[in-house]
Structure 1
Amino acid sequence: MGTSHPPGVESDKSTLDTSPRQVKECLHDLYVEPRNNLYKWSKITEQTAQVRLAYPGEHLACIITGVKGSGSAARGDDLSDGTEVKACSRADQLSECRNCGEKVLVWQEECPTCGSEDINIKTDSHWIFSIRDEKELNLYLDKIPRLLLLMFDRESTDVDEVRLRAWQVDPDQWYYRAFVRDYWENNFLEKANPAPLNLHPEKYDFYMMEPELVFHATLDIEDDEVSIEHWDFENTKKPSMPTRYPNKTQVENLFSDDELLRRVKNDIPRNQWDEFLYQNNRNKLKNLSKSQYVELFPTIPDEKRDKLEMKDKTTREYKEEYRRRD
């Protein structure tokens, strides 16, 4: 396949020709090869093997979107059309021993301190938004035409393949705007030393922003193969929110008794009805637990998502000034 623009991207002076071959080559040069080299040297030096994605993420964003960069080196627009790019990786995070609490490198199968194999594999990396004044606030609210979120991760901790996904968020979307403004008013302006604004992938705030999946590729690191599963800016995919993320009160307010009764009678085996319905009245629901709501409705129907509101936030400060050692 020759070079072209991704579906849904119109050609103009800000665009560049791209292709599946270029995507695969870019991923090899900027992620797979550096990752392999970091693994090699990490086993010698015992330093972290995680690939840093700030500038590589912007290169990948250009190839994925077909939009050129601005050459700003983080001092201006990330892409020439004004798109803001955020990238994070959960694929090779530093892990932690559950027995003694010491850090464990991604390639280590047991704790180097106590020898325990009970390792907590960390997957909590997230996107960070630096908002330090009103100019930066206005940038995120009124200047950028699109937010592009990139994430490297694994489908589960049991697989070796790494996947790269990219979502776009409309800065005019109501929840995104409320999320940014809530940080400014209730965290930045209220704290002496506020932490930056954090957006956690595939959690409540993320789904409420109605992100659109525009790219998904799977990387077989060992065989150096890249499989592009989805790449389309015209036919995007909006992920549904898992019902486990809203709290129980929110979920209770989403579904009527009639909806719940129909779901029980249509989807739950009759020999399990006693868990949901009274024996002497099969048309009356018991007081359902959160896990039972999740069993009945694993995801929130898209038409009900607008009924959800922002959860109360825990405002945070930097705990202390960074120190290398005591």
Structure 2
Amino acid sequence: MIPDISKITIPDNRNKIIQFLDELIISPRTNLRRWSELTNQTPATKIGYIGQHLASLITGVPGTGSGARGDDLADHSEVKSCNKVDQVDKCKDCGSRVLRFQTHCPVCHSANINRKNDSKWLFSPRSQEELDQYLNLSRLVLILMDYPNFAKLDFSDIRILAFEIYPREERMSVFRRLITHYYHNIYLPKHNDERGKTNPMNLHPLMFQFYKCNPIKTFECIIHDIDSAPNIEINHYIEPSTERGLSTPSVDMPSNLLSTNEWEDLIDNCDYETEILPRLTGSKREPEFRSLSIKEQQKLLPYLDETLKAKVPLREIVGLRQTAVYRRSE
């Protein structure tokens, strides 16, 4: 997994990334937020093309000017972007839409708001040729914008992450399994079904299937206090020419993502002394560890590295029909 150095032509990446974020993320959002308070329209921006610009700056590889067609980057990489920032929320009492910066429903004034965090990366192979393109990608670059403190309903900081998956590498072959299964077992049987259009394959950020693909995190930054005093902090960056081999670990999976059965099977299928004990945050002999509750065990083993992730089987993939029909409000 060595990037094509001949295609890396953008220098001074860190400084360019900071300038780009200031000019294309912070400034436009500031203006959109100000107008949103007047128009009651979402300040969210489509991240697709912005994500491609950002992917070029992170990888050092320019695009091909293809827009929505052709290679996203000159080294044949594909770029997918997901934006969880400024999603439109929903009032739990009256069902009205609520903008992210609104603390109360504008219709019924309830503070009982369902804050949305469900955006994902979408993959839609519609022919064997398109499937083969995904399977033979030299690199898949995943861009994510989200809130690092979403669980606390703190929307003051925005996080931007970049991950890389190399579908042709064995350690990342789960991506090939996912998209192949989707095409042959979900899309093909349903695409001519009049009862509803088949949804794309969803890859949810920071969830089970994502971690099973063994993505490598290449970039992370936090834009602190974006609505008051923006400050960009880059806290992780793998330089464009750095080899992404086995010495570069994939993202660890939080152990609490496993179901009870998955966790119990993992512990039973591992050699405790060589595979569990060295990874614990505290020293526990096996009988003592097994006597703990699952929650206590997971506190001692909060993350699963590639070795342990490989011991957890991929979950059954279920396809859903797109049956909802868009209608304007009456």
TM category (shorter chain) comes to 0.7 to 0.9
Report the Cα distance in structure 2 between the residues aligned to 1:41 and 1:207, rounded to whole angstroms. Answer: 38
- What is the aligned partner in structure 1 of residue 161 from structure 2? 165
Q: Of the candidates 69, 72, 80, which is equivalent to residue 66 of structure 2? A: 72
- CA deviation vs aligned residue, 1:158-200 (integer Å, no higher than 9, x gap): 2511111101011122211101111112210122221011100
Secondary structure of the 2:221 match is strand
Residue correspondence of structure 1 range 224-303 to structure 2 within 5 A: 224-233=230-239, 234=242, 236=248, 238-256=250-268, 259=272, 266=283, 285=290, 290-303=294-307
**1:153 aligned to 2:146?**
yes
Residue correspondence of structure 1 range 103-182 to structure 2 within 5 A: 103-142=97-136, 144-156=137-149, 157-172=153-168, 173-182=172-181
Residue correspondence of structure 1 range 50-69 to structure 2 within 5 A: 50-69=44-63
Report the Cα distance in structure 2 between the residues aligned to 1:87 and 1:118, rounded to whole angstroms. Answer: 30
Report the Cα distance in structure 1 between the residues aligned to 2:323 and 2:299, rounded to whole angstroms. Answer: 39
Distance 1:199 1:284, change over 3 A: closer
**1:34 aligned to 2:28?**
yes
Distance 1:59 1:43, change over 3 A: same
- What is the aligned partner in structure 1 of residue 323 from structure 2? 319
AA matched with 1:38? L
Secondary structure of the 1:213 match is strand
Relative contact order higher in (CA < 8 Å, ≥ 6 apart): 2
AA matched with 2:235? E
Distance 1:320 1:115, change over 3 A: closer
- Whether contact under 8 Å (2:159, 2:220) holds in the other structure is yes
The alpha-carbon deviation at position 225 of structure 1 amounts to 2.3
- What is the aligned partner in structure 2 of residue 183 from structure 1? 182
- What is the aligned partner in structure 2 of residue 202 from structure 1? 206
The alpha-carbon deviation at position 264 of structure 1 amounts to 11
Report the Cα distance in structure 2 between the residues aligned to 1:284 and 1:75, rounded to whole angstroms. Answer: 53
In the TM superposition, structure 1's runs of 4+ consecutive aligned residues that sit over 6 Å from their partners are 260-265
Report the Cα distance in structure 1 between the residues aligned to 2:122 and 2:88, rounded to whole angstroms. Answer: 18
- Whether contact under 8 Å (1:54, 1:87) holds in the other structure is yes
AA matched with 1:147? L
- What is the aligned partner in structure 2 of residue 3 from structure 1? none
The alpha-carbon deviation at position 125 of structure 1 amounts to 1.0
- What is the aligned partner in structure 1 of residue 96 from structure 2? 102
Report the Cα distance in structure 1 between the residues aligned to 2:96 and 2:27, rounded to whole angstroms. Answer: 28
The alpha-carbon deviation at position 246 of structure 1 amounts to 2.5
**Does 24-33 or 315-324 show the bigger shift?**
315-324
AA matched with 2:140? L
Residue correspondences, number: 305
Distance 1:97 1:237, change over 3 A: farther
The alpha-carbon deviation at position 325 of structure 1 amounts to 4.3
AA matched with 2:272? E
AA matched with 1:137? L
The alpha-carbon deviation at position 14 of structure 1 amounts to 5.3
Identity of paired residues, percent? 33
Q: Of the candidates 41, 50, 75, which is equivalent to residue 47 of structure 1? A: 41
Report the Cα distance in structure 2 between the residues aligned to 1:216 and 1:264, rounded to whole angstroms. Answer: 25
AA matched with 1:227? E
Report the Cα distance in structure 1 between the residues aligned to 2:306 and 2:67, rounded to whole angstroms. Answer: 38
- Whether contact under 8 Å (1:64, 1:215) holds in the other structure is yes
- CA deviation vs aligned residue, 1:6-55 (integer Å, no higher than 9, x gap): xx866425522233221111112221112112111111111111121011
Secondary structure of the 1:152 match is strand
**Does 252-261 or 171-180 show the bigger shift?**
252-261
- What is the aligned partner in structure 1 of residue 83 from structure 2? 89
Report the Cα distance in structure 1 between the residues aligned to 2:313 and 2:181, rounded to whole angstroms. Answer: 12
The alpha-carbon deviation at position 245 of structure 1 amounts to 1.9
Secondary structure of the 1:145 match is coil
The alpha-carbon deviation at position 137 of structure 1 amounts to 0.8
Q: Of the candidates 304, 310, 318, which is equivalent to residue 306 of structure 1? A: 310
